[in-house]
Structures are given as structure tokens and as C-alpha cells.
Structure 1
């Protein structure tokens, strides 16, 4: 049961962002402005408007953020309703989707998820098998190159065919990264395993190559919310765009001055171009700060 006075707990800017459900919306929210509160209460408002909880998809970047949001929602609507929401990190939600459709991309639903240590160990083995110099083909550097490629949805074959990428690798004295990438992909597949980047990569492959699966999730998720949108990479941005392609029922929250995941392929253009991608997108700005004094805010803005 939704608490009756939930909207009374918001300031004017927050309430306007929460109540708008008639199309795509972008909420620009700096640190301390109540963005988590807006996301939480918007989900509560969607439930109040008649949305079924399992048709609401809420994506975050960290388990901590997802846990905090779920706890706040549970306090307002109860554990049973909150547990039926599709709420979690990009990777956890996409892993769930991939397990349900693993056969469509040649995997079993019980596929293993490699952590960073597993990936590093496999790369080291491949470098050794190819008799390459590990001082040049450092596992961390190779993994970073492979990760960047996957987050840009570049397959090993496209990688090898890209002259610019190959030239950059040659200049770095690592001309065989494309070969390591291909072997890495093949060995993961043979082992029935995906790494964290694969969870994004293969979700795009799944939706791209299976129109019926894409249609199912477009119809299943009636409203999508994304936290910290400035930190999305191309792979994440594209999945969200595909799911919302038909109904445009989307709310993204972010701060174009706070992107912290550029080293993981985060593209600030994703949030800056939202209003071009979704014509008519409503913009809301949360300008009241509850965490810092005005002098601190002014100093931060001047930088």
C-alpha cells in the first residue's frame, strides 16, 4: 500500500520531476540535491498511477545504490511490492535477462561469470601460449583494451579490421592484441563463461539478433529509470535506447559535471544528447542542495 503523503515530503523541483510520467524526462541533479529521493519517489508514484511493479525497470551502477533505493521503497510500499520490481545494477539485471535467454546466443543458462581475477588469469595463459612478452602484453593493459572494445560493441573480427585500432596497437608495440581478444572470447565461450563486460556485450547481441526477444522486453518493461546516466557507456546507452524505442517511457537522472567512469568507457555525450535522442524530453533541475552550505556550493560551481 502506497503511503498517502509521499508527495508532501518533496520540495517543488523534486515533486515536479516525480509527478511527470507523460513522456521521457531528464533530471539534472548534483550531489546532495536529493536525486535518490526523486528516483525512489518516482517509482512509488508510478505504482500509485497503476504501473505493475514487475513492469518497472530501475538501473543503478552499484549494489549499494540499488540496496539503498530498495530499502527506501520498501519503507513506503512494503517488502512484497518492492521485491517484484526489476531493480538492480546494469550487470545484475542484464545477467538475469541473459540467463533467461542464454540459448539464443549459444550459452547455457548456468553460464559462469568471471571476475577480474579469472579474466587476468586467462589473459596471462593466452599471452604465455602465444609466447609473447608479458612485459609488453601486460594482462591489465590487454584486459583494458578488450574491455574498451566490448563496451563499444566491437567484436574481435571488427577489432582486427579496424585500421585505426590496429595502428594504435602497433604504435604501442602490441600488434597481437586482436589475436588475444579472439582467443579470449573463444575460450570463455567454450568454458561457458562471460566476464562483466560480456554481460553488456551479449545483451546487445541478444536484442540485436532476436527481434522477438527485443519486442518482449519492450512490451514487458513499461517504464525505465536510470541513475547516474552520465556514467553510462555506449553498450549501456544502446540497451536502454532499444528497450525504450517504442514507448519512450524513460526517466534518467544524472549530473553532466560528475562523470567518474570514463576509464570504463563512460561517454558524457550520452546524457548531453538525450534531448536530441528523445524529442520532447522534459528537463528538470534539482538546484537545492541539502548536503553543503551555499559558500561551498558557490566555490564548487566556480571551479
Structure 2
């Protein structure tokens, strides 16, 4: 028998309950650590379902896999799992993977792209440093990865003041990833944004799919 008793608004204080019961329009929850922010957010998601919102129209985005797993588990403790099975609870990177798997071919990649992990990046950058550096040149691979990531997020190339070698490594790194049909974690965010900005049909699809978004 389905048990709905674990979803109990009486466990919330007045401010938390106000946030939970506010379904339409923006809500900002500001509170210190350990004050029940996560419980409030989860209760609001469950209340949406209780009020008849379709689970497929709800997106809950977190910054870490740990937080996403915790949210799914706690939602499952409050309502039957089949009621929330189509709710998307994921990290920003996971959301971007879903967007890119569907339509990344429109920006020059194949849908079966590989995602480079941190260790994959280290291996590639070390190889490129060895290939491009002269005998009297040296470059720390961790520094190179950091500079490449920073430049990607700023939308610019590595500054000339960082040296000619890192500029070569950056160019070779990006070319190598593209050749291998691979992306790194920075690319997931950047390419998803690029896709949404450049293709209005894709942007409209995702904006119309979710009626309720929680971060």
C-alpha cells in the first residue's frame, strides 16, 4: 500500500511552509547551513506532485552528484517512486550531457561523443607538452589544464603573457578533442549554452519541456 504519511507540512516552520506552498513564480530560499534548505526544496518538489504537476515537467538541478543522489533518495522516502519517476533530478553537467546527446551534431560533433575525465585530460596534456616543448622548455600539466579551462570559460584564448608553449598546447588540446569526438567537463557547459543560443528550436524544446525549475 502506498504510504503518503511521510510528506508532512507540519514538520516545516512558517517560512519553509510558505516556500513549499508557493507553486507558481520565483522563490528564493536564503538560510544558513543546517537550517533545512534541502528539506524545504524537496518538500516543495513533492508538493508540486501532490498538487497535480506532471513529474516530467519538473527539473531539479544540483551542483554535485552527491546532492542529486540525496535528493532522489529523500523524494523516494516521501512519495512512491513511480509518482516521481519522470522528474529530472541531476547536476548541471548531467543536464548538459542530455542536451548535447540529442543535438550536438548541429555544432560539429557526433552524438556518441566521449567525455574526458580529469585523468584523461592529464594524459592528453602530458602527451602534448612532450610533443610540443623544446628541450629547454617546461610546463606543468596541472597549470596547463587550469589555464585552458579558465580560457574556455572566459571565451578567450590563453593570454600571450602565459607564454607561447601554453598557447600551442591549448590549440593542440582543443583540436585533439575535436578530432577524437571528445569533450571535457568545461565543454559540456560551454557547448550546451552555445547550442541553446544558436538554435532557437532546441532552446524552445527545453524551455517548453520544463514548467518548474529548481536549483
Normalised by the length of structure 1, the TM-score is 0.65
1:1-303 aligned within 5 A: 3=4, 6-132=8-134, 136-152=138-154, 154=155, 158-159=156-157, 165-167=159-161, 169=162, 174-226=163-215
Partner of 2:28: helix, strand, or coil?
A: strand
Equivalents in 1 of 2:37, 2:134: separation in Å?
48
| Secondary structure of the corresponding residue to residue 88 of structure 1 | strand
CA offset digits 1:223-274 (Å, max 9, x no partner): 1111xxxxxxxxxxxxxxxxxxxxxxxxxxxxxxxxxxxxxxxxxxxxxxxx
On the 8 A contact 1:70/1:82 being kept in 2, the answer is: no
Q: CA deviation at 1:36?
A: 1.0
Distance 1:18 1:131 in 2: 57
The number of residues matched between the two structures is: 213
Q: Deviation of residue 9 (structure 1)?
A: 2.1
Asked if 1 retains the 8 angstrom alpha-carbon contact of 2:132 and 2:168, the reply is no
1:50-75: per-residue Cα shift (whole Å, max 9, x none)?
22111111111221111111011112
Partners of 1:62 and 1:199 in 2: CA distance: 15
Shift of 1:206: 0.8
Whether the 8 Å contact between 1:113 and 1:195 is mirrored in structure 2 is yes
Change (3 A) 1:135 1:32: farther
**Structure 2: tracts of 5 or more residues without a match:** none
Contact 1:2–1:48 (CA under 8 A) maintained in structure 2: no
Gaps of 5+ in 1: 227-303
For 1:102 and 1:41, locate their aligned partners in 2 and report how far apart those are by CA, in whole Å: 35
- The root-mean-square deviation of aligned C-alpha atoms, in Å, is 2.0
Counterparts of 1:50 and 1:135 in 2: how far apart (Å)? 64
* Structure 2 contact 49–83 (Cα < 8 Å) conserved: no
Report the alpha carbon displacement of residue 150 of structure 1 after superposing the two structures with TM.
Answer: 2.3
- Cα deviations by residue, 1:78-134 (Å, 9 ceiling, x for unpaired): 112332111111111211221111212222221111111110111111112212579
- Worse-superposed segment, 136-145 or 17-26: 17-26
